[in-house]
Amino acid sequence: MEQERSMPVSLLSPRSPSSQPYLSVSVTDPVKLGNGVQAYISYRVITKTNFPEYQGPEKIVIRRYSDFVWLHDRLFEKYKGIFIPSIPEKNAVEKFRFSAEFIEMRRQALDIFVNQIASHHELQKSEDLRTFLQVEEETMERLRSHDSGIFKKKPADLMQMFKSKVSDIVLGKEKPVEESNPEYEKLKHYIFELENHLTEAQKHAFRLVKRHRELGQALADFGKAAKLLGACEEKAVGKGFSELGAKSEMLSIKLQKEAHELLLNFEEPLKDYVRAVQSIKATIAERANAFRQQCELAETTKLKEINLDRLVLMRSDKAAEAEVEYKELKAASEEATKRFETIVVLMNQEIIRFQEQKTLDMGLAFHEFAKGQAHLANGVADAWRSLLPKLEALSVS
Amino acid sequence: MMDSENQGFEEARLYSSHEEVENLDFKEKLSAKSFSNYRSAMSSLSDAHHPLSSPAVLTPADSDPLRPPPMDRDLQKPYVSDHFFSDPLHFSDVNFGPSDGNNVSDLNGVESPSKSLESSGSLSRSSSSNSEYIKISVSNPQKEQEVSNSLVPGGSSYITYLITTRTNIAEFGGSEFSVRRRFKDVVTLSERLAESYRGFFIPPRPDKSVVEGQVMQKQEFVEQRRVALEKYLRKLAGHPVIRMSDEFKVFLQVQGRLPLPTTTDVASRMIDGAVNLPKQLLSESAMAPQEVVQPAKGGRDLLRLFKELKQSMTNDWGSSKPPIAEEDKEFLEKKEKLCDFEQQLSAVSQQAESLVKTQQDMAETFGELGLTLIKLTKFENEEAVFNCQRVRAADTKNVATAAVKASRLYRELNSQTVKHLDVLHDYLGLMLAVHGAFSERSSALLTEQTLLSDLSSLRSRAEKLEAASSKVFGGDKSRIQKLEQLKESIRTTEDAKNVAMREYKRIKENNRSELERFDRELQADFLSMLKGFVTNQVRYAEKMSEVWGKVAEETSSYSKESS
């Protein structure tokens, strides 16, 4: 199952020869379940694959939003250094939680989320992914509620807190240690700046959706009033207004449609882009943690070594104990170093993947945006143009 | 293409060159301010947070589509809130049809394009084959001191405007002349016209504003008023009958003080009233016939006012048929239809304003999106480590450019739309004139009816008196005297009644001819407006489609189908 990482493959279609491994997932069919406050949406998750570990070729399970959250959190824990694809936000204004548009937006975002995982060369191998895509609903529910408890306290943090307390006291400084890597600094700065730009762009994209809706409404109202005016004036002018009104109303519908398209095909991809950047920030934080741990453990180990040597020299009976401790600490330190270095390597790979993927994603989003606008403009032009000969005829009569 | 002269004229403006259209966008902001009714919607049109028209925002390295056409270079300024007030724009650069006062001061040279459309439109309608014209512009507001012999020392100041007229109509006895007038003069003119042209649809004059003295002098208020005055005078000039009136001619031509009687002379009015009163009390109905020509509501003749009020109440509640009913069924039908029409027109006008506002918002948001994407482009280019980033930056720039263009297009579309839809507003204003004309008719009828009923009551009294005095042998000296007086009253009242009848007839005829004219012009104006509006929408939609079509093509490699 070696897929070259340089190829950002989204989906290999099941149509390709069966020797080619593929994993294709879709999130569909949102259905409202439950009552009142406990009501929620469930989704059908369809997996088509020829991966040997999977029950193939097709498996369908029912999942809800918190299951996706479970998957995301587990991946985030296990694959430090990899930019975990992001899920849509939890918070939703109560009023809109079950609006058709919101449901569709969320479904689309979840579909993209799972697919991004399925097409990531490392993440697709994840056991948690397999669990998510395959196990029965009851098992899933058990896992979800079980794990949500533990995940509040991450084991790494516990050790880290302990260690940092010790070394801070020993070293007499509270200042957090940071890498001095100019290239990495540049990257961090880039990521933080990028988030600002993208957030602003997404904000304006959202406003643009709203504007389309408003224009649609204005056209509808205008059309209605024009028709009424046309009705009370019987001569040519009346006819003219009636026709104008009818066209306005028709165009109003087109505008509402375009608003919806814009939302799904332009605003959401931008939002997804923002979330992806935020995921990178989370990885940056993880890397900083790992770096700190590595440094602190290295320091502590060194101190322990010095102490050990001293004890040995003094032929103290504490030396044996100290040696054991030292060996443990050294192992931990090496592990921490390895962890950190893995993250660095992964991040470097991930950045390339991210940039390439985003160029494709945004390219598509831009294309859909432009297409939608062109389509709308054509519709508007056609509609109004068809009115002109009628108005001409009215003027002559 | 479109045949009528009107349409051709419009076309010339609509289909002016691309460059002019770009300029139009910028300059429209100035003229946009003159559409006082759209002020709220248009405040953002003239709002100078116009990053798009201010090229200084964009770096010089940016490619062509973002660089505004050469003309605008002269107007380069950073975000300055009043920049369009300080820029010396010349409307003569842009072909707006009949040049109207281009050599008048810069700021005021900005004519409201719809006016040129309307006045030339209405001119080409009313002066059908001959090329008669009257072109009026109002400009150059100046502060002047009141030279008063009032008790208040120092005197107050007021604003005068320069009113320039160009005409080739012979009766004006000149081809170009200017006078200075103040707003009070305009009020006087409108009142004199109302008196002389009862029954005509006289365009309503601009409102008197109840504001404090200080505000009166503020530039914005003065400018608004200047625009309103210009509109008003042009409308008057567009009315085939009123434009030839003495009052109008005098207003436009006679230098110095306006030689028309004003109504502000309260003191003498009171005296007049007092002088008349004893006569009325004594002779019971000595109404000078010629006074009958004005409605009682003028307030000068209290007695008459009460009488007519009584009469109107009788008419309303009277169980018996009123002496003369408004029999003209056709007229009544027409009136009702006009009421309906006015209601619907008002609704359409409101929705049109909303439409304009949303188009405006769209323009703004597209612009903001474009700018944000441009910033993103720059950022990616500066920070690019990988080639795909540069590719993405190029794609982003394409979209950004298109968004900026779309924003411009929406703005231009809007300023054109505003012009067309302004016809709706004009007609709403005209409806006021129509109401005025109809109410003149009613009050003339009321006067006639009052006099008729007066007459009949006088006659019956005379009869009784005659009968009573004939019973007295040898004649009743006092009764005979009274009878003589009564007969005198009857004669006077009869004269007045005849005058009133003639007046009523005259007004009815005015109403009728005006209604005809109104109908005709309405058809022409509205159809032309509709065509203009629709043509505009088509034009801009086509341009929009072009802009986005290009981007769609350039990004087609990303589409799912192609991979």
The CATH number of the domain where A27 resides is what?
Answer: 3.30.1520.10
Clarify whether residues A132 and A187 are in a common domain.
no
Kindly identify which residue of chain B lies nearest to residue A236, measuring between CA atoms: B523
**pLDDT attached to residue A185:** 93
A244·B530 Cβ contact <8 A: yes
Which two tokens mark B298? 């003028």
Interface test with B, best of A11, A228, A229, A390 (most B CBs within 10 A): A229
Question: Can you tell me the distance from the alpha carbon of B63 to that of B131, in angstroms, rounded to the nearest whole number?
Answer: 49
Clarify whether residues B431 and B545 are in a common domain.
yes
User: Is A11 a member of any domain?
Assistant: no
Task: Yes or no: say if B199 and B242 are a contact pair by the CB < 8 Å rule.
Answer: no
Clarify whether residues B254 and B338 are in a common domain.
no
Clarify whether residues B347 and B469 are in a common domain.
yes
Q: How many domains, chain A? A: 2
A221·B354 Cβ contact <8 A: yes
Q: How many domains, chain B? A: 2
Clarify whether residues B380 and B496 are in a common domain.
yes
Clarify whether residues A222 and A133 are in a common domain.
no
B348·A241 Cβ contact <8 A: yes
User: Is B558 a member of any domain?
Assistant: yes
Interface test with B, best of A10, A192, A215 (most B CBs within 10 A): A215
A371·B4 Cβ contact <8 A: no
Q: In A, residues 150-189, which contact B (CB 8 Å cutoff)?
A: 186
B86-101 in b/e burial notation, b at 16+ Cβ within 10 A?
ebebebeebebbeebb
- B261, B286, B316 — which closes off a domain? B261
User: Is B414 a member of any domain?
Assistant: yes
**pLDDT attached to residue B298:** 52
How many residues are there in chain A? 397
Question: Can you tell me the distance from the alpha carbon of A84 to that of A296, in angstroms, rounded to the nearest whole number?
Answer: 27
Clarify whether residues A119 and A232 are in a common domain.
no
pLDDT category at B326 given cuts 50, 70, 90 is low
Among B19, B239, B238, which Cα is nearest to B114's?
Answer: B238
Write out pLDDT tens, residues B84-126. 333 333 333 333 333 333 333 333 333 333 343 344 333 333 4
Question: Can you tell me the distance from the alpha carbon of B98 to that of A115, in angstroms, rounded to the nearest whole number?
Answer: 65
Clarify whether residues A214 and A95 are in a common domain.
no
What's the gap in Å between the CA of B197 and the closest CA on chain A?
Answer: 28
Kindly identify which residue of chain B lies nearest to residue A391, measuring between CA atoms: B531
B526·A373 Cβ contact <8 A: no
Clarify whether residues A299 and A385 are in a common domain.
yes
Clarify whether residues A126 and A198 are in a common domain.
no
- pLDDT > 50? residue B2: no
**Preceding amide of A57 cis, omega within 30:** yes
**pLDDT attached to residue B319:** 41
> Is some CB atom of chain B closer than 8 A to the CB atom of A11?
no
Give bridge partners of residue B180 from the DSSP assignment.
B162
Question: Can you tell me the distance from the alpha carbon of A36 to that of A39, in angstroms, rounded to the nearest whole number?
Answer: 5
A232·B340 Cβ contact <8 A: yes
The CATH number of the domain where A336 resides is what?
Answer: 1.20.1270.60
User: Is B273 a member of any domain?
Assistant: no
Distant-in-sequence, close-in-space partners of A385: CB < 8 Å, separation ≥ 6? B538
Q: Within a 13 Å sphere around the CA of B122, how many CA atoms are in the beta-carbon half?
A: 22
Query: Which residue among B389, B538, B555 sits closest to A370, beta carbon to beta carbon?
Result: B555
User: Is B397 a member of any domain?
Assistant: yes
What's the gap in Å between the CA of A266 and the closest CA on chain B?
Answer: 12
Q: At B134, which helix (H) or strand (E)?
A: strand B134-145
Which two tokens mark A199? 């957030």
User: Which residues span the domain enclosing A56?
Assistant: 23-137
Write out pLDDT tens, residues B355-388. 999 999 999 999 999 999 999 999 999 999 999 9
Clarify whether residues A211 and A336 are in a common domain.
yes
User: Is B390 a member of any domain?
Assistant: yes
User: Is A17 a member of any domain?
Assistant: no
What's the gap in Å between the CA of A115 and the closest CA on chain B?
Answer: 15
User: Which residues span the domain enclosing B392?
Assistant: 329-562
Interface test with B, best of A187, A196, A256, A384 (most B CBs within 10 A): A384
B365·A207 Cβ contact <8 A: yes
More confident residue, B210 or A266: A266
Give bridge partners of residue B436 from the DSSP assignment.
none
Q: In A, residues 317-346, which contact B (CB 8 Å cutoff)?
A: none
> Is some CB atom of chain B closer than 8 A to the CB atom of A348?
no
Question: Can you tell me the distance from the alpha carbon of A265 to that of A28, in angstroms, rounded to the nearest whole number?
Answer: 17
Task: Yes or no: say if A143 and A74 are a contact pair by the CB < 8 Å rule.
Answer: no
Q: Specify the long-range contacts of residues B480-483, CB closer than 8 Å, at least 24 apart.
A: none
Distant-in-sequence, close-in-space partners of B124: CB < 8 Å, separation ≥ 6? B5, B6, B9
Clarify whether residues A77 and A218 are in a common domain.
no
pLDDT category at B257 given cuts 50, 70, 90 is confident
The tens-digit pLDDT sequence of chain A (397 residues) is 444 444 444 444 555 555 688 889 999 999 988 888 888 899 999 999 988 888 878 999 999 999 999 999 999 999 999 999 999 988 667 666 678 888 999 999 999 999 999 999 999 999 999 999 999 989 888 888 887 655 554 445 555 555 555 555 555 555 667 888 899 999 999 999 999 999 999 999 999 999 999 999 999 999 999 999 999 887 888 999 999 999 999 999 999 999 999 999 999 999 999 999 999 999 999 999 999 999 999 999 999 889 888 888 888 888 888 888 899 999 999 999 999 999 999 999 999 999 999 999 999 999 999 999 999 999 999 999 999 999 998 887 6
Q: Within a 13 Å sphere around the CA of A216, how many CA atoms are in the beta-carbon half?
A: 17
Clarify whether residues A208 and A336 are in a common domain.
yes
Kindly identify which residue of chain A lies nearest to residue B372, measuring between CA atoms: A201
Q: Where are the beta strands (DSSP E) in chain A?
A: 23-33, 40-49, 58-64
Rounded to two decimals, the ipTM of the complex is 0.85
**pLDDT attached to residue A22:** 87
Which chain B positions have a beta carbon within 8 Å of A224's beta carbon?
351
SS (H, E, C) A23-46: EEEEEEEEEEECCHHHCEEEEEEE
> What is the three-class DSSP state of B178?
strand
> Is some CB atom of chain B closer than 8 A to the CB atom of A9?
no
**pLDDT attached to residue B154:** 60
What's the gap in Å between the CA of A269 and the closest CA on chain B?
Answer: 14
User: Is A177 a member of any domain?
Assistant: no
Task: Yes or no: say if A64 and A41 are a contact pair by the CB < 8 Å rule.
Answer: yes
Question: Can you tell me the distance from the alpha carbon of B513 to that of B528, in angstroms, rounded to the nearest whole number?
Answer: 23
Write out pLDDT tens, residues B460-497. 888 888 888 777 776 677 888 888 888 888 999 999 99
Interface test with A, best of B392, B395, B557 (most A CBs within 10 A): B392
Mean pLDDT estimate for chain B: 73
Which chain B positions have a beta carbon within 8 Å of A217's beta carbon?
358
User: Is A150 a member of any domain?
Assistant: no
Q: In A, residues 217-246, which contact B (CB 8 Å cutoff)?
A: 217-219, 221-222, 224-226, 228-229, 231-233, 235-237, 240-241, 244
User: Is B465 a member of any domain?
Assistant: yes
Which two tokens mark B338? 């006009």
- A75, A105, A137 — which closes off a domain? A137
User: Is A66 a member of any domain?
Assistant: yes
Distant-in-sequence, close-in-space partners of A315: CB < 8 Å, separation ≥ 6? none
User: Is B375 a member of any domain?
Assistant: yes
User: Is A5 a member of any domain?
Assistant: no
B551·A366 Cβ contact <8 A: yes
> What is the three-class DSSP state of A8?
coil
Clarify whether residues A365 and A218 are in a common domain.
yes
What's the gap in Å between the CA of A378 and the closest CA on chain B?
Answer: 6
Clarify whether residues B335 and B190 are in a common domain.
no
